[in-house]
Chain A
Amino acid sequence: KAGVTQTPRYLIKTRGQQVTLSCSPISGHRSVSWYQQTPGQGLQFLFEYFSETQRNKGNFPGRFSGRQFSNSRSEMNVSTLELGDSALYLCASSLTNGQYEKLFFGSGTQLSVL
């Protein structure tokens, strides 16, 4: 069974640009969560999608958005990039993201904003 796939693996952008990251969850998983990870910081929750609906959202500005497609694949978009957006963006999938469920993570997309 294939794991969670994130593309691209690395991205370099300049301030003001926008970026789209992609995540393909494990087959059969309907929940996809997105996290931002910076050195020394814990994973910061961005948002979670289940069956194409955003169920939960973290405390990030509106420049961060996402969506989920009918095949459970998900994308997140960051508009008007800032230097502080440089981070590892991780996608995690689970069956339903219910209680006691573990998350399966992709390898992440390393975004550098210059």
Chain B
Amino acid sequence: SQKIEQNSEALNIQEGKTATLTCNYTNYSPAYLQWYRQDPGRGPVFLLLIRENEKEKRKERLKVTFDTTLKQSLFHITASQPADSATYLCARCLDSNYQLIWGAGTKLIIKP
């Protein structure tokens, strides 16, 4: 089966530093990966999408990379702020019907 794995341990980062979150997938390379942010008691909010043929995607302080050799996507937040504290989810697309398979998420804590 096609799985997606994220570090289940919370990531603690000092304010101002770069936070890097990892998303690993098994089996076939997905057509694309999506990253979402989820705050407690809320639904996920879309952040970035990166396609299989893209190495890197940026949006303001956010950067996503896609390494099909390592079967991994990295999500970076530069100049991190306490307001960036949240759970970050990655999702891969099934090739056939565009349904998403989700990782369990990584909780990011930015300390002032």
Contact indicator A42/B99 (Cβ below 8 Å): no
Contact indicator B46/A107 (Cβ below 8 Å): no
Known contacts A42-B105, A45-B100, A105-B44; A99 and B93 CB within 8 A of each other: yes
Instruction: Produce 1/0 per residue, A21-40, CB < 8 A to B.
Output: 00000000000000100001
Contacts of A55 in B (CB 8 A): 97
Partner of B43, one of A42, A100, A102, A107: A107
Instruction: Produce 1/0 per residue, B39-62, CB < 8 A to A.
Output: 001111110010100000000000
Contact indicator A104/B42 (Cβ below 8 Å): no
> B108 CB to closest chain A CB, in angstroms?
16
B28 contacts the other chain (CB 8 A): no
Q: In the complex, how many residue pairs between chain A and chain B have their CB atoms under 8 Å apart?
A: 57
Contact indicator B31/A90 (Cβ below 8 Å): no
Taking CB atoms and an 8 Å cut-off, the chain B residues in 12-50 that contact chain A are 31-32, 34, 41-46, 49
> B3 CB to closest chain A CB, in angstroms?
9
Binding site for B on A (CB under 8 A): 4, 35, 40-45, 48, 55-56, 90-92, 97-108, 110
Known contacts A90-B43, A97-B98; A102 and B49 CB within 8 A of each other: yes
Q: Chain B interface residue count: which class?
A: 20 to 34
Binding site for A on B (CB under 8 A): 4, 8, 31-32, 34, 41-46, 49, 51, 89, 91, 93, 97-105
Give complex CA distance A107, B32 in Å.
25
Give complex CA distance A107, B39 in Å.
10
User: In chain B, what residue has the closest Cβ to A42?
Assistant: B102
User: In chain B, what residue has the closest Cβ to A104?
Assistant: B46
Given contacts A42-B103, A103-B100, 17 further A-B contacts (CB under 8 A): A40-B104, A42-B89, A42-B105, A43-B44, A43-B89, A45-B100, A90-B43, A98-B98, A100-B32, A100-B49, A101-B98, A102-B46, A102-B49, A105-B44, A106-B43, A108-B42, A108-B43
Shortest Cβ-Cβ A-B pairs, 3 listed: A105-B43, A42-B102, A102-B46
Give complex CA distance A55, B100 in Å.
14
